[in-house]
Amino acid sequence: MFIVERDKHNPILSPKAEHDWEAAGAFNWCPVSGSRGKSHPPLALYRAQSEVKLQDGIRRSVSSIGLAESADGLRFDNRRQFIKPEYQWEKFGCEDPRLTTLGKTHYIFYTALSSYPFSASGIKVALAKADDKMRIIEKHPVTPFNAKAMALFPKKINGKMAALLTIRTDEPPSEICYVEFERESDIWSPEFWQRWQADVSSHTLQIRRGDLQIRRGDNEQVELGASPILTSEGWLVIYSHIQDYFHGNRSFGIEAVLLDKRNPRKIIGRTEGACMVPEEYYERVGQVPNVVFPSGAFLRGDSLEIYYGAADTHCCLARVNLKRFLNALLGKKPLLKRSPNNPILSPRPDKAFEARGTFNPAAVDVGGAIHIFYRAVSNDNISTWGYAASKDGFCVDERSPEPVYIPRAAFEKNGCEDPRATLIGERVVIFYTAYDGATPRVAATAIDVGNLLKKDWRWDVPALITLASLSNKDAAILPRRIDGKFMIIHRLDDMICADFVDSLQWQAEPVRSCVPLIHPRPGMWDSAKIGLACPLVETKEGWLLFYHGVSYTTHYRVGVALLDRDDPARVRGRSAFPIFEPVEDYEWKGATPGVVFPCGVVRRGGTLFFYYGAADSVVGVATAKLSEILAMFKAAK
């Protein structure tokens, strides 16, 4: 798994008011590599959008392609207009360059607009060739049909020049297709394209295990992003994916596929959803709000740099670790490993208090054993807590015949749900969801370690820690003070947030504020709902926050974020994909199919033990190496 790390200098390029040809936008850029022997791109091309001007009696903005120089690959200056409308077939704009270098020639494909108002028949691919000194030597119209986003492979395939392009971008559904050329002149030959188009279905990119294409549904749109990059595993292709394209609530995301080295028509790996969506202010606000659009890529060391446009206004940069990215595309090496003993806890038919389910367990490691408090649901749908203990973390050595915690207050009369336990000194503090039949709220209780070890269930009087007027759940407390205060994590509305309190006297100081930590990410696997999974894990690198996420699929999956160790209200990174999701039958078959829901985590040496509810019916355990989870968050260099 991996994180996407946005560059701290973003946006790298923004519109310049003093240049009338780029006063409205500077976006959708790509690097110019392969020159001067540098390890970073010395030049970049980008789409430049002018302010509204008068053209042929029409007041409108005009696109051209700008060129910027850089000494370090991050700071670009000396900007000038590089490709601009000259011929009838590009009269109304030149957009979105994609550059590939073969030998000493730079092949720059771009979108040429030949008519206004814009229509599919006037939106096509064009080509500009430049020499090694970046001087334009030729320009050609390319496709005789509606297409965009064309890019050459940086080496020949089977002895031929080859490219990818997107067809029917403006008369969708679009498809990303593969094409090979016997001769360079075929690139701009109308006769060649007529023959190619006659058999276009054979050129669309396809999944290795069938005839599935990149689009996952009829309500989606795709467009090629960066030029293909050759990796040890295959050709890596970054592209734009748009959900709900036809329903007016479009969600832009960045995805990727991996193509076979010898037969790039075949997809051998892919992201199962967006790995990046608009989140930052500069991505959410601009000429076209809520857009991230990949248009270039560059390999620098072990890092893949993704060049993208933000809100059709800015040029920005993001990075991922290449090896972890490729592993994710190929589905290699899951981070969490399930115990072969799973499920370790299931309802006992002779115990009425847990007849409908045993799931969503808290866990704490004291006295040489892991103590598990699991949610037990009776036939009358009242939740209590059962108890189990395990010395090795996998096998249950002890289990209570009766519930060890039952509702005691009016605010929890309809159930005590989803406990999360934290060891603070010689006390085990448990936060849980208290339900009175109307509003779920967070409540707390605690027990002395000595009483826990003696199985003397003398719990503190339960107390509500969140306001009665607000629905709130999925809460835990950090095990030590931060700047003199205790930090509480909880969920309010659609966000995971924090509050800071002076003491553990809940009645005197309930949670009243919400410092936002993370939100759902529209278009990604956690787009619909998120909530804290288990208590946070402290490491030298920071606090690991594991959370559950739900998308439109309604399946519960698990992700992770890293919070700053000294300032846990600052999020340093967040997993692009889930690190754990329903796979096994016992996770898919039960009261709520397709659910993995950890509420407990224990650290033993370098291993984390996760205790989770599966399908709201049973309890499972999975382990992960702490080092492998932390490796996700190491900055890409």
Taking residues 89-96, report their average pLDDT: 97
Say if CB 176 and CB 168 are below 8 A apart: no
| Fold agreement (5-330, 343-631) | yes
At 102, is the pLDDT very low, low, confident or very high (cuts 50, 70, 90)?
Answer: very high
Per-domain residue ranges of the chain: 5-330, 343-631
What is d(CA 116, CA 122) in angstroms, rounded to the nearest whole number? 8
Range name among 46-60, 154-168, 190-204, 217-231 with the lowest pLDDT average: 46-60
Question: Is residue 173 predicted with pLDDT exceeding 50?
Answer: yes
When the pLDDT of each residue in the chain is averaged and rounded to a whole number, the result is: 93
Can you say whether the dihedral through the CA atoms of 537, 541, 545, 546 is positive or negative?
A: negative
By C-alpha distance, which of 123, 106, 132 is closest to 166? 123
Say if CB 632 and CB 561 are below 8 A apart: no
User: Could you read off the pLDDT of 285-338 as tens digits, one per residue?
Assistant: 999 999 999 999 999 989 999 999 999 999 999 999 999 999 999 987 789 999
Residue with tokens 């467009």: 223
By C-alpha distance, which of 543, 488, 544, 480 is closest to 513? 488
What is d(CA 472, CA 470) in angstroms, rounded to the nearest whole number? 6
Q: Report the half-sphere exposure of 57 (CA within 13 A, side-chain side).
A: 0
Tokens linked to 67: 């060129």
Global pTM reads 0.93
Q: Which CATH topology does 5-330 take?
A: Tachylectin-2; Chain A (2.115.10)
Q: Which amino acid is at 436?
A: D
Q: What residues contact residue 340 under an 8 Å CB cut-off, 6+ apart?
A: none
Enter the DSSP assignment of 284.
H
Residue with tokens 């596929």: 257
* Alpha-carbon distance values, 298 to 25, 27, 446 (Å): 23, 17, 53
Question: Is residue 35 predicted with pLDDT exceeding 50?
Answer: no
Tokens linked to 55: 């053209």
What is d(CA 429, CA 535) in angstroms, rounded to the nearest whole number? 11
Written out in words, the top-level CATH class of the domain with range 343-631 is: mainly beta
The pLDDT value recorded for residue 534 is 98
Taking residues 243-259, report their average pLDDT: 90
